[in-house]
Chain A
Amino acid sequence: MGIIETKKLIFEYIRRDEEGNVEGITRAVDQVDLDIKQGDFVAILGHNGSGKSTLAKHLNAILYPTEGTVWVDGKDTAKEEYLWDIRQNAGMVFQNPDNQIIGQVVEEDVGFGPENMGVPTKEIWERVEESLKAVGMYKYRKHSPNKLSGGQKQRVSIAGVIAMHPKCIILDEPTAMLDPNGRKEVIRAVRALNQVEGITVILITHYMEEIIHADRAIVMDQGHIAMQGSPREIFSQVERLKELRLDVPQVTLLAYELKKSGVSLPEGILTCEELIAALPV
């Protein structure tokens, strides 16, 4: 069994009118089966409203399944006795950098998780130091979060999660509100965590450039899994991605267009270097 597994996961929102009568039911997540191995880097893609964020919130017991089951590290998220274990093992980083930093000083914010877990004071300091170093924010430890850039704030949020020593970290569109520099900073930090620390990463995004380094990509649409495979396999299906309101990196699109015009190229080119190497001389 992997670190995260879901079986026939269904989640329904019940819409009510002003008197509280049920107006309708929206199925945000529909029959999702996932199996994520320890140490994997998995990207979950999908347009806004495809159900990807709702799915993410099931992975650390913020939402509970309407039907089906979610296991984190072998523990059923619907069982209350596992709640704190699950939240510690599956850390979560959210979209808006301003709305998830609690401390007024960077180091205090990173210490918030360990404090809640009841970690002894001395160890909190050690964890804060190592976490801030892991995301390259150690020299900002005495700063006020309000004065940091978006990318820096998100790295602080990531440090706040890894200070809890999770086995897995779920990032729910961590770069959606950042500029290109901030996006790069955050993705670099996330990749380092995955490769150096061996933490399982689940990255939810709609920026296609960010998933190139993932081991596996899952595309969501209308609550269910529409596509699944390596980034290369996913990107080779340009038309299908467009139908799903997504796009592909420019270089992939260019290679796709060239191929259509008769240039012989392999499927799913992801980087400029690949394209140049593959072009016939």
Chain B
Amino acid sequence: MAIILNHVSHIYEEGTSMEAAALKDVSLAIPDGQFIGLIGHTGSGKSTLVQHLNGLMKPTSGNIFYNGADIHEEGYNKKELRSKVGLVFQYPEHQLFEIDVFSDVCFGPKNMGLDEKEVQLRAYAALKQVGLEDDYFYQSPFDLSGGQKRRVAIAGVLAMKPEVLILDEPTAGLDPKGRDEILDRIAALRKETGITVILVSHSMDDVAKYVDRIVVMNQGGVMYDDEPKKVFRYYKELEAVGLAAPQVTYIMHALKEKGYPVNTDAITIEEAKDEILKALGMKS
């Protein structure tokens, strides 16, 4: 078990009239190597939750354990934790600051106190992992396109060789192709390295085909936590809280209602196609 959250709550301005709960009694276990989609609309507490996972925010009650150790125990090495639990913020390209791409990616490993050679090896490997061509390495990060900047920023976190990678809305503002490129990269990376990935998103469509497990957040609490097809069975409840299941789920349910013998658990286009062809008595 990599990360365990035990009854974690975070309340702003506790004891005043402004009191507002950002997290309410969240308990979660995140095992090594899982690919998790953390879904919720703006203000559901998902961004607050991920900032607890690397110790940037401290719960007002409850405990967080990383590999068995309480991260808020006295003497716990937070800096090391942050290199192990890499967090890529929303619009991460806004944090780039160095004169060239390569030095920017070196920032993380350098802060870890690694020697010069190791720092450079890691930066190089990370830039390769996000698929940035060598031509761009010594350009100013500000001259790159939006999608490239985002990949550089992700490399900046990967260069610390985290065991857990958390990405907060990594596709926000990208065009459809750019979105697919980033998500495919992350999926490939996870396959190669076995890294634990937590993908924060407000779009079910984006995560449905990649993740093993979906955690749905609503009003600071966990609403559903299960494998995607089981979560999407609650598509009506999800809609009530302003989230939508993938379009495919709606189609499959509508078809079922009309009497087609289809399995409503299909979530990708591919699965839906096979189900419909089967129902129509045709072979795919």
A residues within 8 Å of B by Cβ? 47-49, 149-150, 176-177, 179-182, 206, 208, 245-247, 249-251, 253-254, 257-258, 261-263, 272-273, 275-276, 279-280
Contacts and interface: CB of A to CB of B under 8 A. Distances in A.
A206 B173 CA distance: 9
Given A245-B176, A250-B247, A275-B251, A48 B282 contact: no
A149 B42 contact: yes
Contacts of A253: 269
Contact of A180 (B202, B248, B251): B202
19 contacts: A48-B146, A48-B178, A149-B43, A180-B244, A181-B41, A208-B176, A245-B176, A245-B178, A246-B175, A247-B177, A253-B269, A254-B248, A254-B272, A254-B273, A263-B277, A272-B250, A275-B251, A279-B255, A279-B276
A273 B242 CA distance: 21
Interface string B176-209: 1110100000000000000000000011010000
Contact of A48 (B43, B174, B254, B269): B174
Contacts of B176: 47, 206, 208, 245-247
Contacts of B243: 180
Given A272-B254, A279-B276, A261 B178 contact: no
B17 interface: no
Interface of B: 41-43, 145-147, 172-178, 180, 202-203, 205, 242-244, 246-248, 250-251, 254-255, 258, 260, 269-270, 272-273, 276-277, 280, 282, 284
Nearest to B174: A48
Contacts of B247: 249-251, 272
B269 A179 contact: no
A263 B248 contact: no
Contacts of A254: 248, 251, 269, 272-273, 276
B251 A262 contact: no
A251 B174 contact: no
B277 to A, nearest CB: 6
Contact of A263 (B147, B172, B280): B280
B242 A258 contact: no
Nearest to A181: B242
Nearest to A178: B42
Nearest to A208: B176
Contacts of B250: 272
A230 to B, nearest CB: 20
A280 B202 CA distance: 35
B282 A250 contact: no
Contacts of A208: 176
A188 B243 CA distance: 17
Given A254-B248, A258-B273, 4 more contacts: A48-B174, A180-B41, A272-B254, A279-B260
Nearest to B243: A180
Nearest to B42: A179
A251 B272 CA distance: 10
B284 A261 contact: yes
A250 B254 contact: no
Nearest first, the 5 closest Cβ-Cβ pairs linking A and B are: A245-B177, A250-B247, A247-B176, A47-B175, A179-B202
Contacts of B146: 48
Contacts of A251: 247, 251
A273 B255 CA distance: 10
Nearest to A180: B202
Contact of B277 (A48, A149, A250, A261): A261
Given A246-B177, A261-B273, A177 B244 contact: no
A250 B273 contact: no
A1 to B, nearest CB: 33
Contacts of A150: 42
Nearest to A50: B175
A208 B205 CA distance: 13
Contacts of A179: 41-42, 202
B42 A257 contact: no
B173 A177 contact: yes
A47 B178 contact: yes
Given A150-B42, A279-B255, A280-B280, A48 B205 contact: no
A254 B277 CA distance: 11
Given A179-B202, A257-B273, A272-B250, A47 B172 contact: no
